[in-house]
Amino acid sequence: MRETSVSFCPVPPEQRPINEYEELKTSWFFSWGTLPLSTYIKKLVWVGFWSWLIAAPIAAASFSPSKYLIRFILTSMAGTEVLLALVLIRLYLGWSYVHDRLQKDRIFYEESGWYDGQTWLKPSTMIDRDRLVVLYEIKPIFIRLQKTFLTLAGLTLIGSLIWLFLG
């Protein structure tokens, strides 16, 4: 008879979804999603500032700030938003991977290399625990990221409308 208790888990510790979640939660970059809102916003502003430093010279080459100030501002902000969106997409993809691994009732893992993958059926207690982590820990991160994406999309829309009215 096959043992299915949580204490017997053939999945290597570094490939267990709960350990991947803990590692992600404590990593420098991915922990941004778990930070208090004010700290999260500060991190995004910091990324936005450095992105603007990259985008502004490119925008200035197209629209001289002395002649076309509003177009320069809109173009440099669009470049900033693109770079910021890339950072947010990376955050989302990292959390999405762990979300999917925790949500599933089976764990795919590799015993010693890429050629010997296995699948292990989680016991019901592990499934319940993992899904609670998804519901109470990861879903709020997704909601925060979605709100951030919507804010960024709104700013892009406003900038586009201003650009259209400049004619």
- Two structure tokens written together for 104: 């599933």
Q: Is residue 96 part of a domain?
A: yes
Other beta carbons within 10 Å of 8: 10
Q: Is residue 9 part of a domain?
A: no
Q: What pLDDT score was predicted for residue 2?
A: 42
Please report where in the chains the tokens 């625990």 appear, as a residue. Answer: 129
Q: Is residue 161 part of a domain?
A: yes
Q: Is residue 14 part of a domain?
A: no
Q: Is residue 18 part of a domain?
A: no
| CA-based torsion, 85, 99, 34, 27: positive or negative | negative
Q: What is the pLDDT of residues 9-57, one digit of tens each?
A: 888 899 999 999 999 999 999 999 999 999 999 999 999 999 999 999 9
152-to-29, 35, 127 alpha-carbon distances in Å: 20, 19, 35
Tell me which amino acid residue 120 is. W
Q: What is the pLDDT of residues 52-82, one digit of tens each?
A: 999 999 999 999 999 999 999 999 999 999 9
Other beta carbons within 10 Å of 140: 12
Q: What is the pLDDT of residues 106-128, one digit of tens each?
A: 998 887 766 778 899 999 999 99
**For all residues of the chain together, what is the average pLDDT?**
92
Three-state SS for 43-99 is: HHHHHHHHHHHHHHHHHHHHCCCCCCHHHHHHHHHHHHHHHHHHHHHHHHHHHHHHH
User: Which pTM value belongs to this model?
Assistant: 0.88
65 in Cβ contact with 72 (< 8 Å): yes
Q: Is residue 1 part of a domain?
A: no
Q: What is the pLDDT of residues 145-155, one digit of tens each?
A: 999 999 999 99
Q: Is residue 26 part of a domain?
A: no
Q: Tell me which residue range forms the domain holding 55.
A: 37-166
Q: Is residue 92 part of a domain?
A: yes
Tell me which amino acid residue 108 is. F
Domains: count for the chain: 1
Q: What pLDDT score was predicted for residue 5?
A: 47
Q: What pLDDT score was predicted for residue 166?
A: 87
Q: How confident is the model at residue 165 (pLDDT cuts 50, 70, 90)?
A: very high
